[in-house]
Amino acid sequence: MRFASPFLHAIDILYSFLIKVGSNLQSLFLFYMRVTWGHQAVIYGLGKLQAIEQTIQFFSSLHIAHPEFNAYLVGWVEMVGGICLVFGFVTRLAAIPLIIVMLTALSTAHAPDISNLRFLLQPLLLVRQAPYPFLITAFLVFIFGPGRISIDAWLKRWSERRPKY
Q: What is the mean pLDDT of the chain?
A: 93
| 17 domain residue, yes or no | no
pLDDT interval class at 117 (50, 70, 90)? confident
Query: CA 39, CA 133: separation in Å to the nearest integer?
Result: 12
| 104 domain residue, yes or no | yes
Element (H, E) at 145: none
| 22 domain residue, yes or no | no
For the stretch 11-69, pLDDT in tens is: 999 999 999 999 989 999 999 999 999 999 999 999 999 999 999 999 999 999 999 99
| 152 domain residue, yes or no | yes
Q: Which pLDDT score is estimated for 3?
A: 74
| 20 domain residue, yes or no | no
For the stretch 99-114, pLDDT in tens is: 999 999 999 988 887 7
Q: Which pLDDT score is estimated for 114?
A: 79
Rg of the chain (C-alpha set): 21
For the stretch 144-165, pLDDT in tens is: 999 999 999 999 999 888 777 7
Domain count, the chain: 1
> Which residues form the domain of 83?
29-161
| 5 domain residue, yes or no | no
Whether 63 contacts 104, CB under 8 Å: no
Which pTM was predicted?
Answer: 0.86
Give the other-Cβ count within 10 Å of 59's Cβ. 21
| 80 domain residue, yes or no | yes
Computed from CA positions of residues 124, 129, 133, 135, in that sequence, does the dihedral angle turn out positive or negative? negative
Q: Which pLDDT score is estimated for 1?
A: 62
| 23 domain residue, yes or no | no
Residue 75 scores a pLDDT above 80: yes
